Structure 1
């Protein structure tokens, strides 16, 4: 139970530090079916019971149009925790892998998924979209941008999309991936396999593996990088 309380405390602190949620918000949670997004959904639903602000949650899953994916565990979870669930059918996977045959598919896929998620959230009357990027994602994106783009960049805790009239919030930014794994196990959350053909073979996976190697010599490397990001003031941090 201690790690569950710790995770909820970290999310609550992120929400308070960056004023992520206000009274009357209708928040769409992007739910892939993986451990990160399901953890965010369940945690926000638990926090909804005792946060001082009143808000509404809606879960959204985008299908990719490739592979057979059984979303029944996600649907059953949403029913159990009393959160509205919408499955938006897309052909993003077919466009990226079959029509375009992208050698480096992640960027195009991410752009298409963002657009579809934002449009669905607006259609459902939401004013915010909660994304499940955790601390490890923040660090990995920072290193990817530094190594491969030559720029200092990573996710912002809160982003306003003026063209869509949507706020993007990332309540897991203080949470390490290992704590997410513990939360999923402790709550017996059933995850859905990622159907993406590129899963596990990306530059992000390379950075993840690199950090794991570096951490063998320096146990503080992730906290040091994350602290540097916070102190730098980049991207509205």
Structure 2
């Protein structure tokens, strides 16, 4: 039931934000974690649903960028892709070496730089493989955490978009999991034989995002309805009501 729930929320996101069209060849960035691996699996299922019920022919391509972190074996992922008729590419990179050169004074890695480099590497390979779209497994919790991070550390109300066109790379970037919560992903992954490759990144679990995740979990425990309401808040344009300064009106 959990996988069906994920697929239902994917379809809603697809219809609400026009994420996928007939003829799309979509690259899926794979880290090996539960989110990206379930996205890969669900996209393989969704391509069949789209063809059968929506008359949309979609191709998917799994792309893993070898970050350079030690002891990460993706042979199980390669086997899984072969068994599920998923095109898969394992690409070398020097990202870890670059991150170590640009590390903070205390030796910790800069997650923001890592994210940009990884995203850029996936998109670069996607273009080489004639993909017109790239999908990452950012989910509803990621979007809510991003909103709160921007509010607390940047003084602005903003989160990432379900779909955006990246002008510099001429690539459409989509997030099919924007309506899916991490708790649903955890339940769904247990129903499957999808392999998980544990990250050996030294920053795993030691970020501001992790702090925000823990803060929000405490809010959800105290106010259970807040979880779905926070997701609604991200696209509730009709009830957006913020201050407008006179100087902003005159500009």
Q: Same fold (TM over 0.5)?
A: yes
Q: Does 1:166 align with 2:133?
A: no
Give yes or no for contact 2:102–2:110 (8 Å, CA) kept in 1. Answer: no
Structure 1 length-normalised TM: 0.94
CA contact (8 A) 1:26 1:126 kept: yes
Is 1:95 aligned to residue 87 of structure 2? no
2:26 matched to which residue of 1? 27
* Aligned equivalents of 1:9, 1:206: Cα separation in 2: 30
Partner of 2:139: 134
Q: Are residues 1:112 and 2:117 paired?
A: yes
**Residue 17 (structure 1) aligns with:** 16
- Whole-angstrom distance in 2 between the partners of 1:116 and 1:4: 29
SS at match of 1:59: strand
* Whole-Å separation in 1 of the counterparts to 2:88 and 2:6: 24
Which portions of structure 1, spanning 4 or more consecutive aligned residues, are displaced by more than 6 angstroms? Answer: none
Partner secondary structure for residue 85 of structure 1? strand
CA contact (8 A) 1:28 1:130 kept: yes
2:81 maps to which residue? Answer: 78
Structure 2: 5+ residue stretches without partners: 241-251
Deviation at 1:213, TM superposition (A): 1.1
Secondary structure in 1 aligned to 2:49? coil
* Cα distance in 2 for residues equivalent to 1:232 and 1:140: 19
Report the number of matched residues.
232
- The residue aligned with 1:178 is 183
Range moving further from structure 2, 33-42 or 217-226: 217-226
Q: CA deviation at 1:104?
A: 5.6
Structure label with greater radius of gyration: 2
Distance of 2:206 and 2:24 partners within structure 1: 37
Counterpart CA distance in 2 for 1:21 and 1:5 is 19
Q: 1:65 to 1:104 in 2, by over 3 A?
A: closer
Per the alignment, residue 44 of structure 2 pairs with 45
Match of 1:36 in 2: 35
SS at match of 1:9: helix
Partners of 1:41 and 1:187 in 2: CA distance = 12
CA shift for structure 1 position 66: 2.4
Partner of 1:192: 197
> What is the CA–CA distance in structure 2 between the aligned matches of 1:106 and 1:57, rounded to whole Å?
27
Normalising by structure 2, report the TM-score.
0.89
CA RMSD of aligned residues (A): 1.4
8 Å Cα contact 1:40-1:172 kept in structure 2 = yes
Distance in 2 between residues matched to 1:177 and 1:230, nearest whole Å:
19
Distance 2:12 2:60 in 1: 19
* 8 Å CA contact retained: 1:66, 1:94: no
Alignment pair present for 1:229 and 2:234: yes
SS of alignment partner, residue 50 of structure 1: helix
| Aligned mates of 2:81, 2:154 — CA distance in 1 | 39
Q: Which runs of 5+ in 1 are unaligned?
A: none
